[in-house]
A and B are shown apart, each in its own frame.
Chain A
Amino acid sequence: MKLKPFVSADKVVLNLESGSQGDILKQLMLPLVKVGNMIANEEEFLSDLITRENEVTTVMENGIAFPHARSEAVNRLCLVVGLAPDGIQFSPEKGNTSKVIFLIGVPSFAPTAHIPILQSLATFAKDEVRLEKLLAAKTPAQAVKVLATYKG
């Protein structure tokens, strides 16, 4: 699954700041709110994300996190890439800090639409060379390039 159609420079957050899980999710949601038509209700999406996170963690063993939720509040399948080169604590009970966080919004009427993207991203996240390249991105466009050229 090519990631190219789902990544764009306006949906990259280069320096995520540490905070509560809700704070981090809000930083990641901001680009979707700015676009306007992606999210119908911010609070509802945030609450669905946290509910999903509590069901079973989306943090992989290496710390890469993939918060996502199927939500009535999401109008379109969407992806935001967040980077924190120094690592931030996304999930309190998980020891590993997260340097990369992928936020995925899934509309409730297409609840499996994200599965191919999740598979691609999970494969990407196991590729240390690619991860290093992504984390070295100095601009959103550079981050997009690393993901868009990935053929996982």
Chain B
Amino acid sequence: MSEVIPLLEKLQNLEITLNEAEILHGDRPEVDDLKKKCQDIRRQIDTDALARYDRLSRHGLSVVKIINDMCMGCHMIIPKGDLNRMTSGKEDAICPNCGRYLIL
């Protein structure tokens, strides 16, 4: 599971860039290029993970950082035990509170 997160993070970053470009350029060719790049990444991701990502995206970010043990999506502290299990691969890197994918 955790190996899909870097790809989801890449997709999220590219989709933010796409959003920025749409704001600045509307429908110019540069925007289409970005759309294609997003589609290329989407094709590399397992459909369940992608569905989950899209569900989370409706409420903001799907993939978030952890700063000082805090999930940057819901701002709750993630228990140290959970974090240890996530980094050692024994537990999926998903926030126990909001369910967002975590960048470890």
Contacts and interface: CB of A to CB of B under 8 A. Distances in A.
Interface of A: 52, 55-58, 60-61, 66, 68, 70, 108-112, 115, 118-119, 122
B40 to A, nearest CB: 15
Contact of A115 (B20, B31, B33, B72): B20
Nearest to A122: B23
B61 A68 contact: no
A93 to B, nearest CB: 12
Contact of A60 (B16, B19, B25): B25
Interface of B: 12-13, 16-17, 19-21, 23-25, 30-31, 33-34, 60-61, 64-65, 67, 72
Contacts of A56: 17, 20-21, 25, 30-31, 33-34
9 closest A-B pairs by CB: A109-B65, A109-B72, A56-B30, A56-B21, A122-B23, A118-B23, A60-B24, A119-B23, A109-B67
B19 A115 contact: yes
Contacts of A122: 23-24
Contact of B17 (A52, A60, A66): A52
B24 A58 contact: yes
Nearest to A65: B24
Contacts of A70: 13, 16
Contacts of A109: 64-65, 67, 72
Contact of B61 (A55, A58, A112): A112
Contacts of A61: 25
A55 B24 contact: no
B29 to A, nearest CB: 10
Given A56-B17, A115-B20, A110 B72 contact: yes
Contacts of A111: 12-13, 16, 61
A118 B13 contact: no
B42 to A, nearest CB: 18
A58 to B, nearest CB: 6
Given A109-B72, A111-B61, A119-B23, A55 B17 contact: yes
